[in-house]
Structure 1
Amino acid sequence: MAWSTRELAELAGTTLKTVRHYHRIGLLDVPERAANGYKRYGVGHLVRLLRIRRLVDLGVPLSDIPAMEGSDENAERTLRALDAELKASIERQQRMREELASILRRRSLVDLPPGFDGNATELSDVERSLLLIYSTVLDPAAMTTLLELHSTDPPPARAEFDTLPPDADEVTRQRLAEHYAPLVRHQYEQHPSLKDMATGEALTRPVVAEGLAALYNPAQLDVLRRLNILLGEEEPR
């Protein structure tokens, strides 16, 4: 029994293009041609093609198949590496499913970095946006600290700060900064790493500065500047 390329592909459940690709990369031997010039494949080619498909279906890269066939040791090493990758992928997908379940329960969580829940869902749109920006520059430990901070009740002045008009007078700006200063100092005492985070390189990156400038109005930015002065992180001008 001999088959054409098309017949071989159909028997193996694949395509002409795939069979020809395997020929090009040396995975499948090119058969002899019949008198009419057409390739004629035998049982050995079909079995070989089915074996290749089996390995591909398991996730083995085509480039690893020759080495696997070279020795049992290579085959075991390749399969164990693939198993480890699949295990990590399954764990990642399970975490994704858990996050999706939380988001389905509380749709607002989709606008927050992974792990944020509880009172964090009461954050303003601006704070949500900033948290997403921070997640691009802070490491997991720093984000965990922010999670802890945002899981507590917000300070009474936050609502006033969130709605502060851009033309707010200096007295109001200074009052808000002075209100926040002891709260921030208390947070520094509770979370020593927070002060290092606030003064570190991560939060001085352009993406953070641009985010603050775009999300806060001039009066709010001035409150933050005054707050930094009160905390001793910036010298008065």
Structure 2
Amino acid sequence: MTWSTSELADLAGTTVNAIRHYHSLGLLEAPERKYNGYKQYRVHHLVRLIQVRRIAELGVPLAQVRADEDGVVVLGGLRQLDRCVQEEIERLHRARSDMAAILRDHAPAHTPRGFEALASRLSVADQALIHIFTRLSAGESMSRLRQMVLTEPDAVRLEFDGLHGDADEATRERVAHRIVTSRGNWRSPDRPWSVDTGRWWSDRDARQTISEALLELYNSAQQDVLSRARQYVEKQNVSLSA
């Protein structure tokens, strides 16, 4: 018994174009043809096609597949692919967990992981800065950052967010002192919450990146307040070490 290309495709659960592609890759040998030019596929073609389809179902790139007289083989075996599949499964689990948190807290889809419950309380600038922090630190550092952001009093955050560029001296001093006394000075190149120097970044590069971000994300009064807050913290540290 023989089959045409379309009949073979139906039997194997694939398409005519897929069969042609397997021919071009050398994974399926060309069949004999009838006197009228129509292809005549036989049982061994069907078996080989099912074998190729089975390997494709496992996610093996066809570039890593070879066919010979004994069957279809995967170059390098399946162990590396198995590790890749496991990593992808773990990535999907993380993505599912992240989406659940975003949906639960009605947070924007781009919210940094772990900050979903805080998203509605953070300004656009603060969210942007946290995004940058997530690229410069990880693990325990991010946990400490979340804790600092979480414990920053809403009143202090709102007062800082509401600063206009032309805020007067007294207002700037008051907000800077409130940030320091509430231990809310997380918007800083010094990264007081960090326990590492970053991933592949040097500490100098990280500080420069954060400094540039602060200049672009916040207005002049907010930048001045953050600078004063850092100076106050530095003076306190000097006094404690003296």
* Letter matched to residue 134 of structure 1: F
What is the correspondence of 1:172-191 to structure 2 with a 5 Å cutoff?
A: 172-181=171-180, 184=183
CA contact (8 A) 1:103 1:109 kept: yes
- Measure how far apart 1:209 and its partner are: 4.5
Partner residue of 1:92?
A: 91
> Which segment is superposed worse, 16-25 or 157-166?
157-166
Listed one character per residue, the Cα deviations across residues 53-95 of structure 1 (whole Å, up to 9, x for unaligned) are: 11111212212222899899x7696333333332222222222
What is the correspondence of 1:69-88 to structure 2 with a 5 Å cutoff?
A: 78-88=77-87
What is the correspondence of 1:1-237 to structure 2 with a 5 Å cutoff?
A: 1-66=1-66, 78-108=77-107, 110-118=109-117, 122-154=121-153, 156-181=155-180, 184=183, 193=194, 200-205=204-209, 208-232=210-234
Secondary structure of 1:107's partner?
A: coil
* Letter matched to residue 138 of structure 1: S
Listed one character per residue, the Cα deviations across residues 177-199 of structure 1 (whole Å, up to 9, x for unaligned) are: 344345559989xx6746967x7
- Per the alignment, do residues 192 and 224 of structure 1 end up closer, same or farther by CA in structure 2, a change over 3 Å counting? closer
Distance 1:70 1:231 in 2: 73
Distance 2:215 2:24 in 1: 56
Distance 2:68 2:156 in 1: 65
* Letter matched to residue 164 of structure 1: L
Which of the two has greater strand per residue?
2
Distance 1:135 1:78 in 2: 37
- Per the alignment, do residues 99 and 140 of structure 1 end up closer, same or farther by CA in structure 2, a change over 3 Å counting? same
* Letter matched to residue 101 of structure 1: A
CA contact (8 A) 1:120 1:150 kept: no
Aligned alpha-carbon RMSD (Å): 3.5
Listed one character per residue, the Cα deviations across residues 93-138 of structure 1 (whole Å, up to 9, x for unaligned) are: 2222222222222112645311225556533333222212322333
- Per the alignment, do residues 45 and 212 of structure 1 end up closer, same or farther by CA in structure 2, a change over 3 Å counting? same
- Measure how far apart 1:48 and its partner are: 0.5
> Which segment is superposed worse, 213-222 or 23-32?
213-222
TM-score, scaled relative to structure 2:
0.75
**Structure 1 vs Structure 2: percent identity of aligned residues?**
41
* Letter matched to residue 44 of structure 1: H
Distance 1:184 1:91 in 2: 36
Which of the two has greater helix per residue?
1
- Measure how far apart 1:40 and its partner are: 1.7
> Which segment is superposed worse, 111-120 or 31-40?
111-120
Partner residue of 2:240?
A: none
* Letter matched to residue 8 of structure 2: L
- Per the alignment, do residues 210 and 182 of structure 1 end up closer, same or farther by CA in structure 2, a change over 3 Å counting? same
TM-score, scaled relative to structure 1:
0.77
* Letter matched to residue 29 of structure 1: E
